[in-house]
Structure 1
């Protein structure tokens, strides 16, 4: 039986050394050959290894061309449907189905593809991202046996994982690795469209506006031709964000209106939350604070998932702070902290730091240096230098206001340094 890849994958998942697994069954060198599928072990040895690893032998599917073809088609269809639909409940259904029907194939390539697609679904759903990191690390050990397509799927998983954990620079690094692999992999049109959208998204976050628009428009063309209106809506929102970042405010507003029109025409009421949020962001940058607040509150009304309000609550705190309305700013800080504690998900830790800083800023003693420094250190660890820059400025100005000029100078220098990093500038002459 060709089961070495199954044994190796499970042993790595359990963090078990070859010496421990082989003890009393075979030699470590023999186990190594089994894991590399260089030899076919006896049924007795397979049974003993499976038993030690807790692998259910009834799930083992012997090499059967038709069953493998059927499973591969089901896997491919599920992958396409999940990626093109981008619907949370649908993704959960498909993931549950795959997890419940997870045969152990003697076909190594099919088994690895299954692991990579299941991981993709779990990352999309943000299911325990600490465990997902462990899965990614385990697959790294197996990756020496990946074909080009599997390596493509693996790099995509890494990129999305780091985007989900707010490590934008790492995410971009892996997406650019993916771009280097594209010529080696025969991607279908829908895969190209999804990749173009994701690259457009991360480049927008990184303020590479011209390049991001190029990728977004490629994705938009495919989604529009195939009548994937939810994805068309996603593209219009992203185009609006690029226009906003370029200070093309009328064009941004027009893109958001197109997105809202799609919501109305195709009964995508749930998606209005993101449209309203972006209208709020646009109003804010144009100085219309009251209008921004109205849109952010409308966004919260349309949110159905628990974590959704955090970003809009954060924006409400900012708007009330700009209006010097400490009472309402504190109210929304309390709402945000309460929701964060309720979610108990450390992937939203950035919001906790945002709310804690603003709450201390509006307190009787004023801004807490301890709380702000903790936030700055946190944003350094996730390489989100925009907020290192922002909160260093806040701390510098607070110290200056309180005549602590030496401390103020230190944090202004810190803000300046990370401002350069954030803007990808090495020298003042390049400003």
Structure 2
């Protein structure tokens, strides 16, 4: 960051006008030129301006150490070390307040936004985003790189995957203009792969995740390598290459076991359950889903719900209606009782199966619920697999009612949405 940018940032942070800073030292117009990096002030003028802004020495010798600590904090976040990241956050926050350096402040704000996203505090991340946007004009290329990367991650967390990918691609362009460590390159590639996966662009996903995996393996980073294997397994599963998917999940499982990553093991068991479901091996699928829930015992309710829903669906497909209904009722009760904000999506999922399994619900209620709430919601959020499944359920209902024209309409909808995700 240039001298003028540092001075302007500190002045704005202190909510001082140019007149207040320049008074008795230089003219306002000259200060404006300094802040816009049009002129370089003399040492004497710079010293006086720093005094006015409450900065003893703009280039304090300990700034390098502070910047080093900020980047170590960011590395702890990227490595998903929650305890270390939380500890360092409090320490660095105090250092930032004490030194009041413009460049360090910008990096802290950027990394603070990334920290909030890591801690799943989306509202705090959005508040940080608004503050960061106001400083964008003072950013150099490296700051802009983090800006685009973290904004991409925010949109990803909000399930706006096209916007996320757009920001990630901008970050990738800036990445080539700077010198970054290999682990940063791997992290960016992994995030790009995730976004491509959500958009069902499997070739791009595989390309980026393999690049990330090569770096993590060279660095013996077992946890991140396991995450890459999981993502590759999902890609191969979607392509119908189930044996390759099993191989990827097995490699991920071995790596996760070596580092005793319970959260990751829960994710792997869930994906193995989905794979077995695709192969119509219902008993094995149920076993893996149940194992996943054991690993997810202390996970957030949102993380557990995806597996609970999959287990309900598996019970239903295997005609174990008693267990399916019991799990639906238990899950809906959890939704009502728990204070943690849960996506409306799971309410819809569980209620669909409640309608399918319960004798107390009229067929007309089911029809209206599917047509007016369920299918439009998943269409809007581009959850194509769910649209295809629920359109088929509604088509089955119309067929039973001998409403063949409507049945044909929803079977076609199911087929059309399957084509969006599977080359048919």
TM-score, normalised with respect to structure 1: 0.78
Between Structure 1 and Structure 2, whose CA radius of gyration is higher?
2
Partner of 2:202: 209
Q: Is the 8 A contact 1:61 1:104 kept in 2?
A: no
Alpha carbons of 1:100 and 1:381: their partners in 2 closer, same or farther (altered >3 Å)? farther
Following the alignment from structure 2 to structure 1, what is the Cα–Cα distance between the partners of residues 340 and 377?
A: 15
Equivalent residue, structure 2, for 1:358: 353
Aligned to 1:309: 304
Give the aligned CA root-mean-square deviation in angstroms.
3.7
Q: Which position in structure 2 is the counterpart of 1:321?
A: 316
Equivalent residue number for residue 245 of structure 2: 252
Shift in CA distance, 346/383, structure 1 to aligned 2, threshold 3 Å = farther
Tell whether the 8 Å contact from 2:253 to 2:265 is kept in structure 1 after alignment: yes
- The correspondence for 1:97, drawn from 91, 99, 122, is 91
CA distance 1:65–1:347, change in 2 (3 Å): farther
The residue aligned with 1:54 is none
Structure 1 residues without counterparts, runs of 5 or longer: 12-20, 47-56, 425-429
For the 8 Å contact 1:61–1:106, the answer to whether it is kept is no
The structural deviation recorded for 1:411 is: 5.3
- Report the counterpart of residue 275 of structure 1 in structure 2: 268
Q: Distance in 1 between matches of 2:266 and 2:73?
A: 27
Q: How does 1:327-346 map to 2 (within 5 A)?
A: 327-346=322-341
One of 100, 109, 113 as aligned partner of 2:103: 109
Measured against aligned partners, the alpha-carbon deviations of 1:359-387 in whole angstroms (never above 9, x if no partner) come to: 22322224634543334444455444543
Could you report, residue by residue, the CA deviation over 1:332-369 in whole angstroms, capped at 9, with x for unpaired residues? 22333344445545463322222222222322224634
**Higher mean displacement: 266-275 or 239-248:** 266-275
Equivalent position to 1:261, from 254, 262, 275: 254
* Alpha-carbon distance in structure 2 between the residues aligned to 1:144 and 1:347: 37
Matched residue SS, 2:134: helix
User: Is 1:240 the counterpart of 2:233 in the alignment?
Assistant: yes
Query: Which is further off, 198-207 or 221-230?
Result: 198-207
2:221 is aligned with 1:228 = yes
C-alpha distance in 2, partners of 1:381/1:130?
Answer: 23
Larger relative contact order (CA 8 Å, sep ≥ 6): 1
Distance 1:111 1:358, change over 3 A: same
Cα-to-partner distance string for 1:214-262 (whole Å, 9 max, x where unaligned): 2222211211121211111112222222221121112211222222222
Q: Deviations over 1:105-149 (max 9, x none)?
A: 66433322211111011112211x134234324433332332222
Aligned to 1:402: 401
Counterpart CA distance in 2 for 1:99 and 1:378 is: 41
Contact 1:168 1:384 in 2 (8 A): no
2:212 corresponds in structure 1 to 219
TM-fit CA distance, 1:10: 8.5
| Displacement after TM superposition at 1:301 (Å) | 0.5
Mapped to 2, the partners of 1:130 and 1:409 lie a distance apart of 44
- Residue aligning to 2:192: 199
| TM-score (structure 2 length as normaliser) | 0.79
Report the Cα distance in structure 2 between the residues aligned to 1:381 and 1:246, rounded to whole angstroms.
24
- Figure out how many residues of one structure are paired with residues of the other and give that number: 397
